[in-house]
Chain A
Amino acid sequence: MKPPCYEYVAPDTLAGALRVRAECEDSVVLAGGQSLVPTLNFRLANPDTVIDLRRVAELATVDTRDGMIRVGAMTRQRTLERNEAAFARNPLIRETMEYIAHPVIRSRGTIGGSVAHADPASELPCLLVLLDGELTARSSRGERTIPAADFFEFVFTTALEPEELLVEVAFPVLEPGEGWAFREFARRHGDFAVAGAGATLLLDDAGRIARARLAACGVATTPVRLRAAEEALRGAEPGTEAFRAAGELARDAVTTVDDTAASADYRRHLLSGLVNDVLTRAAARARGPR
Protein backbone atom coordinates (compact mmCIF):
# COMPACT_ATOMS: atom_id res chain seq x y z
CA MET A 1 0.00 0.00 0.00
CA LYS A 2 1.44 3.32 -1.07
CA PRO A 3 0.01 6.82 -0.89
CA PRO A 4 -1.49 8.16 -4.15
CA CYS A 5 0.10 10.96 -6.19
CA TYR A 6 -0.49 14.47 -4.89
CA GLU A 7 1.12 17.89 -4.79
CA TYR A 8 2.99 18.51 -1.55
CA VAL A 9 3.57 21.83 0.20
CA ALA A 10 5.24 22.39 3.58
CA PRO A 11 4.66 26.09 4.34
CA ASP A 12 6.83 27.68 7.03
CA THR A 13 4.14 30.00 8.37
CA LEU A 14 0.43 29.86 9.12
CA ALA A 15 -0.14 32.69 6.64
CA GLY A 16 1.60 30.62 3.98
CA ALA A 17 -0.50 27.57 4.83
CA LEU A 18 -3.71 29.62 4.63
CA ARG A 19 -2.67 30.96 1.23
CA VAL A 20 -2.23 27.44 -0.14
CA ARG A 21 -5.47 26.34 1.49
CA ALA A 22 -7.32 29.22 -0.27
CA GLU A 23 -5.76 28.45 -3.65
CA CYS A 24 -6.45 24.71 -3.66
CA GLU A 25 -9.93 23.35 -4.06
CA ASP A 26 -9.07 19.90 -2.83
CA SER A 27 -6.44 19.97 -0.10
CA VAL A 28 -5.91 17.90 3.02
CA VAL A 29 -3.69 18.65 5.98
CA LEU A 30 -0.82 16.41 7.02
CA ALA A 31 -0.72 16.90 10.80
CA GLY A 32 0.41 13.76 12.61
CA GLY A 33 -0.54 11.57 9.67
CA GLN A 34 -1.94 8.86 11.96
CA SER A 35 -5.34 8.96 10.27
CA LEU A 36 -4.45 10.66 7.01
CA VAL A 37 -1.74 8.24 5.87
CA PRO A 38 -3.98 5.16 6.22
CA THR A 39 -6.80 6.97 4.40
CA LEU A 40 -4.35 7.87 1.61
CA ASN A 41 -3.01 4.33 1.45
CA PHE A 42 -6.52 2.90 1.23
CA ARG A 43 -7.46 5.58 -1.35
CA LEU A 44 -10.29 6.73 0.91
CA ALA A 45 -8.71 10.12 0.29
CA ASN A 46 -7.18 11.07 -3.04
CA PRO A 47 -6.51 14.80 -2.69
CA ASP A 48 -4.89 17.15 -5.21
CA THR A 49 -2.73 18.76 -2.53
CA VAL A 50 -1.29 17.75 0.83
CA ILE A 51 -0.40 20.67 3.12
CA ASP A 52 2.19 19.52 5.68
CA LEU A 53 1.93 21.70 8.81
CA ARG A 54 5.03 20.31 10.55
CA ARG A 55 7.04 23.51 10.03
CA VAL A 56 4.35 25.87 11.35
CA ALA A 57 5.71 26.23 14.88
CA GLU A 58 3.09 28.82 15.88
CA LEU A 59 0.43 26.06 15.93
CA ALA A 60 2.18 23.88 18.54
CA THR A 61 1.34 25.75 21.75
CA VAL A 62 -0.50 25.06 25.03
CA ASP A 63 -1.76 28.10 26.96
CA THR A 64 -3.67 27.68 30.22
CA ARG A 65 -4.84 31.21 31.06
CA ASP A 66 -8.34 32.63 31.67
CA GLY A 67 -10.43 29.55 32.37
CA MET A 68 -9.56 27.90 29.08
CA ILE A 69 -6.85 25.49 28.07
CA ARG A 70 -6.02 26.73 24.58
CA VAL A 71 -4.20 24.17 22.51
CA GLY A 72 -2.65 24.87 19.12
CA ALA A 73 -3.85 22.44 16.47
CA MET A 74 -0.38 20.96 15.87
CA THR A 75 0.23 20.12 19.53
CA ARG A 76 0.98 16.40 19.78
CA GLN A 77 -1.58 14.41 21.74
CA ARG A 78 1.13 13.07 24.05
CA THR A 79 2.27 16.62 24.82
CA LEU A 80 -1.15 17.76 26.03
CA GLU A 81 -1.70 14.51 27.92
CA ARG A 82 1.52 15.09 29.84
CA ASN A 83 1.07 18.86 30.36
CA GLU A 84 0.91 19.37 34.15
CA ALA A 85 -0.66 22.84 34.01
CA ALA A 86 -3.50 21.48 31.88
CA PHE A 87 -3.85 18.48 34.20
CA ALA A 88 -4.12 20.72 37.27
CA ARG A 89 -6.94 22.71 35.67
CA ASN A 90 -8.76 19.85 34.01
CA PRO A 91 -7.67 16.32 34.93
CA LEU A 92 -10.39 14.86 32.72
CA ILE A 93 -8.31 15.66 29.64
CA ARG A 94 -5.59 13.21 30.64
CA GLU A 95 -8.01 10.50 31.75
CA THR A 96 -9.81 10.74 28.40
CA MET A 97 -6.69 10.84 26.25
CA GLU A 98 -5.32 7.64 27.76
CA TYR A 99 -8.01 5.86 25.75
CA ILE A 100 -6.80 7.22 22.40
CA ALA A 101 -4.99 4.44 20.54
CA HIS A 102 -1.55 3.71 22.03
CA PRO A 103 1.19 6.05 23.30
CA VAL A 104 3.15 5.43 20.08
CA ILE A 105 0.23 6.80 18.03
CA ARG A 106 -0.30 9.71 20.43
CA SER A 107 3.33 10.76 20.21
CA ARG A 108 2.74 11.63 16.52
CA GLY A 109 -1.01 12.34 16.42
CA THR A 110 -2.07 15.93 17.02
CA ILE A 111 -4.99 17.51 18.86
CA GLY A 112 -6.17 19.34 15.74
CA GLY A 113 -5.88 16.21 13.60
CA SER A 114 -8.06 14.17 15.93
CA VAL A 115 -10.71 16.91 16.10
CA ALA A 116 -10.71 17.68 12.36
CA HIS A 117 -10.83 13.99 11.49
CA ALA A 118 -14.08 13.74 13.53
CA ASP A 119 -14.32 9.99 13.90
CA PRO A 120 -17.58 9.51 15.85
CA ALA A 121 -15.86 6.99 18.14
CA SER A 122 -13.06 9.44 18.96
CA GLU A 123 -12.48 10.59 22.50
CA LEU A 124 -11.41 14.22 22.03
CA PRO A 125 -14.49 15.31 20.07
CA CYS A 126 -16.62 13.72 22.82
CA LEU A 127 -14.68 15.56 25.51
CA LEU A 128 -15.15 18.89 23.70
CA VAL A 129 -18.88 18.33 23.36
CA LEU A 130 -19.05 17.37 27.05
CA LEU A 131 -17.18 20.47 28.24
CA ASP A 132 -18.68 22.95 25.75
CA GLY A 133 -15.27 23.50 24.23
CA GLU A 134 -14.53 25.85 21.35
CA LEU A 135 -12.77 25.43 18.04
CA THR A 136 -11.04 28.26 16.23
CA ALA A 137 -10.89 28.12 12.45
CA ARG A 138 -8.93 30.49 10.28
CA SER A 139 -8.86 31.23 6.57
CA SER A 140 -7.09 33.93 4.61
CA ARG A 141 -10.31 35.95 5.04
CA GLY A 142 -10.39 35.84 8.84
CA GLU A 143 -11.02 33.83 11.97
CA ARG A 144 -14.13 32.39 13.61
CA THR A 145 -14.86 30.48 16.78
CA ILE A 146 -17.19 27.51 16.58
CA PRO A 147 -18.79 25.94 19.67
CA ALA A 148 -18.12 22.19 19.86
CA ALA A 149 -21.88 21.58 19.74
CA ASP A 150 -21.96 22.99 16.18
CA PHE A 151 -18.62 21.67 14.96
CA PHE A 152 -19.22 17.93 14.55
CA GLU A 153 -21.80 17.46 11.79
CA PHE A 154 -21.55 13.84 10.70
CA VAL A 155 -19.12 10.90 10.42
CA PHE A 156 -15.74 12.45 9.43
CA THR A 157 -17.56 15.73 8.70
CA THR A 158 -17.11 19.04 10.51
CA ALA A 159 -18.18 22.66 10.11
CA LEU A 160 -14.74 23.54 8.69
CA GLU A 161 -14.86 25.09 5.21
CA PRO A 162 -12.43 23.77 2.57
CA GLU A 163 -10.36 26.98 2.73
CA GLU A 164 -10.19 26.96 6.55
CA LEU A 165 -7.64 25.45 8.87
CA LEU A 166 -8.39 24.45 12.43
CA VAL A 167 -5.89 26.51 14.43
CA GLU A 168 -6.89 26.14 18.07
CA VAL A 169 -8.86 23.81 20.31
CA ALA A 170 -10.04 25.28 23.64
CA PHE A 171 -10.99 23.07 26.60
CA PRO A 172 -12.76 24.83 29.50
CA VAL A 173 -11.27 24.16 32.94
CA LEU A 174 -13.33 22.34 35.58
CA GLU A 175 -15.05 24.22 38.43
CA PRO A 176 -13.49 23.88 41.88
CA GLY A 177 -14.78 20.65 43.41
CA GLU A 178 -16.31 19.41 40.17
CA GLY A 179 -16.12 15.62 39.78
CA TRP A 180 -15.12 14.05 36.47
CA ALA A 181 -14.66 10.72 34.72
CA PHE A 182 -14.28 9.12 31.31
CA ARG A 183 -14.61 5.42 30.48
CA GLU A 184 -14.94 3.41 27.34
CA PHE A 185 -15.24 -0.14 26.15
CA ALA A 186 -13.17 -1.53 23.27
CA ARG A 187 -12.51 -5.14 22.34
CA ARG A 188 -8.75 -4.72 22.49
CA HIS A 189 -6.77 -2.14 24.42
CA GLY A 190 -6.21 0.90 22.18
CA ASP A 191 -8.87 0.10 19.61
CA PHE A 192 -11.48 2.65 18.73
CA ALA A 193 -14.29 2.54 21.30
CA VAL A 194 -17.40 0.46 20.76
CA ALA A 195 -18.87 3.09 23.08
CA GLY A 196 -17.48 5.62 25.55
CA ALA A 197 -18.91 8.15 28.00
CA GLY A 198 -17.70 11.16 29.94
CA ALA A 199 -19.25 12.98 32.88
CA THR A 200 -18.73 15.99 35.10
CA LEU A 201 -20.65 16.50 38.35
CA LEU A 202 -21.01 19.61 40.47
CA LEU A 203 -22.68 19.41 43.89
CA ASP A 204 -24.57 22.17 45.77
CA ASP A 205 -24.34 23.07 49.48
CA ALA A 206 -26.81 20.35 50.38
CA GLY A 207 -24.79 17.72 48.52
CA ARG A 208 -27.33 17.44 45.70
CA ILE A 209 -26.44 17.61 42.05
CA ALA A 210 -26.20 21.22 40.89
CA ARG A 211 -24.97 20.39 37.42
CA ALA A 212 -24.28 17.13 35.63
CA ARG A 213 -22.82 16.99 32.15
CA LEU A 214 -22.80 13.78 30.11
CA ALA A 215 -21.57 12.95 26.62
CA ALA A 216 -20.91 9.78 24.66
CA CYS A 217 -18.89 8.62 21.65
CA GLY A 218 -19.34 5.63 19.38
CA VAL A 219 -23.14 5.62 19.64
CA ALA A 220 -24.14 8.03 16.83
CA THR A 221 -22.78 9.75 13.72
CA THR A 222 -21.25 12.45 15.97
CA PRO A 223 -20.36 12.68 19.65
CA VAL A 224 -23.57 13.38 21.61
CA ARG A 225 -24.55 15.30 24.74
CA LEU A 226 -27.01 13.30 26.80
CA ARG A 227 -29.31 16.19 27.77
CA ALA A 228 -32.32 14.24 29.02
CA ALA A 229 -30.14 12.36 31.50
CA GLU A 230 -28.42 15.60 32.56
CA GLU A 231 -31.74 17.27 33.27
CA ALA A 232 -33.07 14.34 35.24
CA LEU A 233 -30.00 14.50 37.46
CA ARG A 234 -30.35 18.20 38.36
CA GLY A 235 -31.33 18.48 42.03
CA ALA A 236 -31.09 14.72 42.57
CA GLU A 237 -29.27 12.96 45.35
CA PRO A 238 -26.09 11.51 43.88
CA GLY A 239 -26.21 7.72 44.13
CA THR A 240 -26.98 4.41 42.54
CA GLU A 241 -30.66 5.09 41.96
CA ALA A 242 -30.18 8.39 40.14
CA PHE A 243 -27.19 7.14 38.19
CA ARG A 244 -28.88 3.99 37.02
CA ALA A 245 -31.91 6.00 35.91
CA ALA A 246 -29.60 8.38 34.03
CA GLY A 247 -28.03 5.42 32.26
CA GLU A 248 -31.46 4.26 31.12
CA LEU A 249 -32.37 7.73 29.86
CA ALA A 250 -29.10 7.89 27.95
CA ARG A 251 -29.73 4.48 26.44
CA ASP A 252 -33.20 5.51 25.28
CA ALA A 253 -31.97 8.81 23.83
CA VAL A 254 -29.56 7.40 21.26
CA THR A 255 -30.34 5.65 18.02
CA THR A 256 -27.45 3.67 16.68
CA VAL A 257 -27.15 0.93 14.07
CA ASP A 258 -25.81 -2.62 13.97
CA ASP A 259 -22.28 -2.87 12.63
CA THR A 260 -19.41 -5.34 12.58
CA ALA A 261 -18.25 -4.38 16.09
CA ALA A 262 -21.58 -4.59 17.91
CA SER A 263 -25.34 -4.65 17.52
CA ALA A 264 -27.30 -1.47 18.19
CA ASP A 265 -28.94 -3.06 21.22
CA TYR A 266 -25.61 -4.09 22.67
CA ARG A 267 -24.18 -0.58 22.16
CA ARG A 268 -27.13 1.04 23.89
CA HIS A 269 -26.94 -1.43 26.74
CA LEU A 270 -23.24 -0.70 27.04
CA LEU A 271 -23.94 3.03 27.12
CA SER A 272 -26.34 2.72 30.05
CA GLY A 273 -23.67 0.89 32.03
CA LEU A 274 -20.94 3.36 31.07
CA VAL A 275 -23.09 6.35 32.07
CA ASN A 276 -23.81 4.79 35.45
CA ASP A 277 -20.11 4.05 35.84
CA VAL A 278 -18.78 7.52 34.94
CA LEU A 279 -21.36 9.21 37.17
CA THR A 280 -20.35 6.97 40.08
CA ARG A 281 -16.69 7.80 39.55
CA ALA A 282 -17.38 11.51 39.08
CA ALA A 283 -19.42 11.59 42.29
CA ALA A 284 -16.57 9.98 44.21
CA ARG A 285 -14.29 12.77 43.00
CA ALA A 286 -16.74 15.65 43.55
CA ARG A 287 -16.34 17.83 46.63
CA GLY A 288 -18.91 20.23 48.04
CA PRO A 289 -18.29 23.96 47.55
CA ARG A 290 -15.44 25.34 49.64
Chain B
Amino acid sequence: MNGNHGTDHLDAEPVDGDTRYGPDDRIAISLTVNGEKVEAAVSPRLLLSDFLRGDLGLTGTHVGCEHGVCGACTVHLDGMPARSCLTMAVQVDGMEVRTVEGLAEPDGTLHPVQRAFRECHGLQCGFCTPGFLMAVTHLVENEELAETDDGLRAQLAGNLCRCTGYMGIVAATRRAAAEIASKG
Protein backbone atom coordinates (compact mmCIF):
# COMPACT_ATOMS: atom_id res chain seq x y z
CA MET B 1 0.00 0.00 0.00
CA ASN B 2 2.38 2.70 -1.18
CA GLY B 3 -0.25 5.19 -2.26
CA ASN B 4 0.55 8.68 -3.34
CA HIS B 5 -2.54 10.01 -1.66
CA GLY B 6 -1.27 9.71 1.83
CA THR B 7 -1.90 6.46 3.59
CA ASP B 8 1.08 7.90 5.47
CA HIS B 9 -1.00 10.79 6.83
CA LEU B 10 -1.31 9.11 10.20
CA ASP B 11 -2.78 12.21 11.81
CA ALA B 12 -5.85 12.28 9.55
CA GLU B 13 -9.18 12.27 11.38
CA PRO B 14 -12.54 10.83 10.28
CA VAL B 15 -14.79 13.25 8.41
CA ASP B 16 -16.28 16.01 10.52
CA GLY B 17 -19.56 17.57 9.37
CA ASP B 18 -18.52 21.16 10.12
CA THR B 19 -15.04 21.10 8.59
CA ARG B 20 -14.22 22.33 5.10
CA TYR B 21 -11.45 20.25 3.64
CA GLY B 22 -9.09 21.59 1.03
CA PRO B 23 -7.68 19.40 -1.76
CA ASP B 24 -4.47 18.86 0.22
CA ASP B 25 -6.25 17.82 3.41
CA ARG B 26 -6.65 14.15 4.21
CA ILE B 27 -9.76 12.50 5.61
CA ALA B 28 -9.52 9.19 7.44
CA ILE B 29 -11.81 6.53 6.01
CA SER B 30 -12.48 3.04 7.25
CA LEU B 31 -13.98 0.43 4.98
CA THR B 32 -13.96 -3.24 4.09
CA VAL B 33 -12.39 -4.29 0.81
CA ASN B 34 -12.97 -7.92 -0.21
CA GLY B 35 -13.62 -8.81 3.40
CA GLU B 36 -10.53 -7.12 4.81
CA LYS B 37 -10.68 -4.02 6.93
CA VAL B 38 -8.89 -1.05 5.38
CA GLU B 39 -8.02 2.26 7.05
CA ALA B 40 -6.73 5.04 4.85
CA ALA B 41 -6.36 8.79 4.60
CA VAL B 42 -7.64 10.28 1.36
CA SER B 43 -7.93 13.61 -0.40
CA PRO B 44 -11.57 14.67 -0.94
CA ARG B 45 -10.95 14.74 -4.71
CA LEU B 46 -9.57 11.21 -4.96
CA LEU B 47 -11.73 8.89 -7.05
CA LEU B 48 -12.51 5.43 -5.72
CA SER B 49 -11.07 3.86 -8.88
CA ASP B 50 -7.74 5.63 -8.29
CA PHE B 51 -7.82 4.78 -4.59
CA LEU B 52 -8.28 1.07 -5.33
CA ARG B 53 -5.61 1.00 -8.00
CA GLY B 54 -3.09 3.52 -6.70
CA ASP B 55 -3.38 3.28 -2.94
CA LEU B 56 -4.43 -0.33 -2.45
CA GLY B 57 -2.67 -1.78 -5.49
CA LEU B 58 -5.87 -3.49 -6.61
CA THR B 59 -5.27 -2.92 -10.30
CA GLY B 60 -7.85 -5.48 -11.39
CA THR B 61 -10.38 -2.63 -11.44
CA HIS B 62 -9.81 -1.05 -14.85
CA VAL B 63 -10.30 2.58 -15.76
CA GLY B 64 -11.65 3.06 -19.26
CA CYS B 65 -13.76 6.07 -20.21
CA GLU B 66 -13.70 7.78 -16.78
CA HIS B 67 -17.20 9.14 -17.20
CA GLY B 68 -19.44 6.23 -16.42
CA VAL B 69 -20.15 4.89 -19.90
CA CYS B 70 -17.88 1.86 -20.40
CA GLY B 71 -18.33 -0.01 -17.11
CA ALA B 72 -14.74 -1.34 -16.88
CA CYS B 73 -14.40 0.14 -13.36
CA THR B 74 -17.53 -1.53 -11.93
CA VAL B 75 -17.23 -2.69 -8.30
CA HIS B 76 -19.82 -3.59 -5.64
CA LEU B 77 -20.62 -1.11 -2.87
CA ASP B 78 -22.61 -2.69 -0.04
CA GLY B 79 -23.66 -5.40 -2.49
CA MET B 80 -24.77 -3.07 -5.27
CA PRO B 81 -22.81 -2.58 -8.50
CA ALA B 82 -21.40 0.92 -8.96
CA ARG B 83 -18.98 2.83 -11.14
CA SER B 84 -15.81 3.38 -9.12
CA CYS B 85 -14.81 6.16 -11.55
CA LEU B 86 -17.92 8.15 -10.59
CA THR B 87 -17.49 7.66 -6.85
CA MET B 88 -15.19 9.58 -4.54
CA ALA B 89 -13.12 7.50 -2.14
CA VAL B 90 -14.50 9.51 0.81
CA GLN B 91 -18.01 8.45 -0.17
CA VAL B 92 -17.34 4.78 0.60
CA ASP B 93 -16.34 5.45 4.21
CA GLY B 94 -17.98 2.70 6.27
CA MET B 95 -18.99 0.64 3.24
CA GLU B 96 -18.20 -2.84 2.02
CA VAL B 97 -16.36 -2.77 -1.28
CA ARG B 98 -15.97 -5.87 -3.45
CA THR B 99 -13.62 -5.82 -6.41
CA VAL B 100 -12.68 -8.38 -9.04
CA GLU B 101 -9.84 -9.53 -6.77
CA GLY B 102 -12.52 -10.63 -4.28
CA LEU B 103 -14.28 -13.06 -6.63
CA ALA B 104 -11.96 -16.08 -6.54
CA GLU B 105 -11.49 -18.15 -3.38
CA PRO B 106 -8.33 -17.43 -1.37
CA ASP B 107 -6.84 -20.68 -2.73
CA GLY B 108 -7.29 -19.42 -6.28
CA THR B 109 -10.41 -21.42 -7.15
CA LEU B 110 -12.26 -19.28 -9.66
CA HIS B 111 -15.72 -17.90 -9.01
CA PRO B 112 -18.36 -19.64 -11.21
CA VAL B 113 -18.68 -16.44 -13.24
CA GLN B 114 -14.93 -16.29 -13.89
CA ARG B 115 -14.90 -19.96 -14.86
CA ALA B 116 -17.84 -19.49 -17.21
CA PHE B 117 -16.16 -16.52 -18.90
CA ARG B 118 -13.10 -18.67 -19.54
CA GLU B 119 -15.06 -21.67 -20.77
CA CYS B 120 -17.40 -19.68 -23.02
CA HIS B 121 -14.77 -17.31 -24.47
CA GLY B 122 -16.36 -14.35 -22.72
CA LEU B 123 -13.18 -12.34 -23.11
CA GLN B 124 -10.48 -11.58 -25.60
CA CYS B 125 -8.21 -8.64 -24.77
CA GLY B 126 -9.50 -8.59 -21.19
CA PHE B 127 -9.77 -4.86 -20.66
CA CYS B 128 -13.52 -4.82 -20.00
CA THR B 129 -13.50 -8.18 -18.20
CA PRO B 130 -13.21 -7.06 -14.54
CA GLY B 131 -16.20 -4.76 -14.98
CA PHE B 132 -18.19 -7.45 -16.76
CA LEU B 133 -17.35 -9.99 -14.07
CA MET B 134 -18.61 -7.66 -11.34
CA ALA B 135 -21.76 -6.73 -13.26
CA VAL B 136 -22.54 -10.35 -14.16
CA THR B 137 -21.80 -11.60 -10.65
CA HIS B 138 -24.34 -9.17 -9.25
CA LEU B 139 -26.82 -10.20 -11.92
CA VAL B 140 -26.56 -13.95 -11.35
CA GLU B 141 -26.40 -13.67 -7.58
CA ASN B 142 -29.24 -11.19 -7.11
CA GLU B 143 -31.42 -10.67 -10.16
CA GLU B 144 -33.65 -12.70 -12.43
CA LEU B 145 -32.04 -13.26 -15.82
CA ALA B 146 -34.13 -12.34 -18.85
CA GLU B 147 -35.35 -15.36 -20.78
CA THR B 148 -34.53 -13.99 -24.21
CA ASP B 149 -31.02 -13.13 -25.35
CA ASP B 150 -32.24 -9.67 -26.33
CA GLY B 151 -33.45 -9.17 -22.77
CA LEU B 152 -30.19 -10.46 -21.35
CA ARG B 153 -28.18 -8.17 -23.62
CA ALA B 154 -30.25 -5.27 -22.28
CA GLN B 155 -29.36 -6.37 -18.74
CA LEU B 156 -25.68 -6.38 -19.71
CA ALA B 157 -25.88 -3.08 -21.61
CA GLY B 158 -24.17 -1.09 -18.87
CA ASN B 159 -20.81 -2.59 -19.87
CA LEU B 160 -19.06 -2.28 -23.21
CA CYS B 161 -16.83 -4.88 -24.87
CA ARG B 162 -15.08 -4.12 -28.17
CA CYS B 163 -13.72 -7.61 -28.88
CA THR B 164 -16.18 -10.41 -28.35
CA GLY B 165 -19.39 -9.21 -29.96
CA TYR B 166 -21.00 -10.25 -26.65
CA MET B 167 -21.92 -13.80 -27.82
CA GLY B 168 -19.48 -15.41 -25.37
CA ILE B 169 -20.48 -13.04 -22.59
CA VAL B 170 -24.16 -13.89 -22.99
CA ALA B 171 -23.32 -17.61 -22.99
CA ALA B 172 -21.04 -17.24 -19.95
CA THR B 173 -23.75 -15.40 -18.03
CA ARG B 174 -26.25 -18.18 -18.71
CA ARG B 175 -23.75 -20.88 -17.77
CA ALA B 176 -22.77 -19.17 -14.52
CA ALA B 177 -26.41 -18.61 -13.58
CA ALA B 178 -27.20 -22.28 -14.26
CA GLU B 179 -24.27 -23.42 -12.14
CA ILE B 180 -25.20 -21.17 -9.24
CA ALA B 181 -28.87 -22.23 -9.48
CA SER B 182 -27.95 -25.95 -9.52
CA LYS B 183 -26.05 -25.49 -6.27
CA GLY B 184 -29.16 -23.83 -4.81
- Asked if B83 lies at the interface with its beta carbon under 8 angstroms from chain A, I say yes
- Asked if B133 lies at the interface with its beta carbon under 8 angstroms from chain A, I say no
- Asked if B74 lies at the interface with its beta carbon under 8 angstroms from chain A, I say yes
Write the residues of chain A forming the contact surface with B, with a CB cutoff of 8 angstroms: 1-13, 16, 20, 30, 33-34, 37-38, 41-42, 49-50, 52, 54-55, 78, 101-105, 107-108, 188-190
Q: Do B19 and A9 touch (CB < 8 A)?
A: yes
Q: Do A104 and B154 touch (CB < 8 A)?
A: no
Q: Within 8 Å CB of B90, what residues of A?
A: 8, 10, 52
Q: Within 8 Å CB of A108, what residues of B?
A: 77, 80, 82-83, 86-87
Q: Which residue of A lies closest to B134 (CB)?
A: A104
Q: Complex: how many Å from CA A6 to CA B68? A: 21
Q: Complex: how many Å from CA A41 to CA B50? A: 13
Query: How would you classify the secondary structure of chain B's contact residues: helix, strand, loop or mixed?
Result: mixed
Size of the chain B interface, CB-CB below 8 angstroms: 35
Q: Do B18 and A107 touch (CB < 8 A)?
A: no
Q: Complex: how many Å from CA A8 to CA B50? A: 18
Stretch binding the partner chain, chosen from B20-28, B104-112, B167-175: B20-28
Which one of B21, B67, B82 contacts A1 once the chains associate, using CB atoms below 8 Å?
B67
Which one of B18, B50, B71, B88 contacts A37 once the chains associate, using CB atoms below 8 Å?
B88
Nearest CB in chain B: distance from A82 CB, A = 11
29 contacts between A and B (CB under 8 A): A1-B66, A3-B45, A3-B47, A4-B45, A5-B45, A7-B22, A8-B20, A8-B21, A8-B27, A10-B15, A11-B18, A13-B17, A30-B88, A33-B86, A33-B87, A38-B68, A41-B66, A49-B20, A50-B44, A55-B15, A55-B17, A101-B158, A103-B158, A104-B81, A104-B82, A105-B83, A107-B80, A108-B83, A190-B158
